Structure 1
């Protein structure tokens, strides 16, 4: 059985950071409903969830993926590129440690956001840009026994704002927002920005945003089963399906 860490939205969600898009009003009540539907979708795919303690003073804390990188039996605790978000890490670290993971922490002057890290087998792509720096990538490489590759991120907030990967390892992305598609061994363009974001529920099912119907149709044609959730209020804060959870080993 697969397990995911989640963290419920706080009352200041609408004040979350926005860097690459125009700020638009967030409906907090709808955001709570959408978050619950996201969690229900995980449960519907036979995942269990563990809640990280809420931290109401941090508007972006629902984006719990940014707090860590989990690989094998190690959880690398991030040091957020945005100073306002660094308080989010402590509670997440305690929660993942309770699941038996060995902790390693990114330290100054390194910065690393979990949303910049795309794992495909033993290869780990890390976006170097606004939130993750070269020193953070160096420390991540030292902490993990893996092939860690830095790739540029300039057009979007995080690497996984631009690309994720299908179960067969093919990287998918919305090409106008991908800085270097050639950095990936296999790349396939998708017709919508939100279509670049998938969570692998299992070998056949992909958790996706409802705002990417054309991409869902594309993936269906490849034999996958898209599971669509409406996350419109989180998309207003540059959020996507990947950043609302940390997927752990079974």
Structure 2
């Protein structure tokens, strides 16, 4: 179960966020509205939400998931692979928010890079995607830290997606949404894989929060599959964040 969530309000500079989507720039006003609805959905799922102020110096800083991995034993401050994001984790308000909840704080150090969008928690095990943003050195550091606290990790090389959780979502109860390259991956054979079709691949980025699942708007087949598993679904529009390579999981730290 999750008790707390940290989010950051999008700044006006969000329109200049890193993007490979070719869908144009986000509408700032609409992004703000969608973010408010996201926070509202999280609240409905029964968590306390800490809302950090926008920071114009970092266009991608609303994607707080990438800058820290929150576990039940410690928080690990990452070192994002995107150079423009490497100082986000050091922002004072983020540091203060994390220190409020965690006694044990660890850090990924150069030459390692890690973005926590590449990390999926399944119980006490953490799958770590080796990607353009998370390198082998960073993944190995992450595993060493996890093991220090009695947790475990393993590396999953990525071929096509930006982040591991771009195409995966663990919904607890052994259920795993899979899209793209992960459909045929032998790594997750022990889990109950729910396949998301290529035309709805973005819909695979959902988040489980206390028996609720937040699902992006506009992916009816993915939504139906999740509802069929018995979850309470909360639909949230993330169209403006999709334009800058972001999804539901990217927008929060959940612990």
Tell me if TM exceeds 0.5: yes
Match of 2:143 in 1: 141
Equivalent residue runs for 1:1-250 within 5 Å: 2-19=3-20, 21-91=21-91, 92-144=94-146, 145-174=150-179, 176-178=180-182, 181-184=185-188, 185-186=190-191, 187-191=193-197, 192-203=200-211, 205-248=212-255
Q: Is the 8 A contact 2:16 2:25 kept in 1?
A: no
1:74-115 CA distances to partner (integer Å, 9 max, x unpaired)?
A: 100010001100111013233211223411000000000010
Structure 1 unmatched runs, 5+ = none
Using the TM superposition, give the Cα deviation of residue 123 of structure 1 relative to its aligned residue in structure 2, in angstroms.
1.4
Q: What secondary structure is seen at the aligned counterpart in 2 of 1:126?
A: strand
TM-score (norm 1): 0.93
Aligned-residue RMSD, C-alpha: 1.6
Q: What secondary structure is seen at the aligned counterpart in 2 of 1:171?
A: strand
Q: Is the 8 A contact 2:12 2:28 kept in 1?
A: yes
Aligned residues: 245
Using the TM superposition, give the Cα deviation of residue 148 of structure 1 relative to its aligned residue in structure 2, in angstroms.
0.6
Give the Cα separation in 2 of the matches to 1:117 and 1:195: 18
Q: What secondary structure is seen at the aligned counterpart in 2 of 1:12?
A: helix
Q: What secondary structure is seen at the aligned counterpart in 2 of 1:32?
A: helix
TM-score (norm 2): 0.91
Give the Cα separation in 1 of the matches to 2:26 and 2:163: 21
Using the TM superposition, give the Cα deviation of residue 127 of structure 1 relative to its aligned residue in structure 2, in angstroms.
0.5
Give the Cα separation in 1 of the matches to 2:83 and 2:57: 14
Using the TM superposition, give the Cα deviation of residue 23 of structure 1 relative to its aligned residue in structure 2, in angstroms.
4.4
Which range moved further: 47-56 or 81-90?
47-56
Give the Cα separation in 2 of the matches to 1:168 and 1:127: 22
Alpha-carbon spacing, 1:53–1:26, altered in 2? closer, same or farther (3 Å):
closer
Give the Cα separation in 2 of the matches to 1:103 and 1:213: 40
Q: Is the 8 A contact 2:46 2:210 kept in 1?
A: no
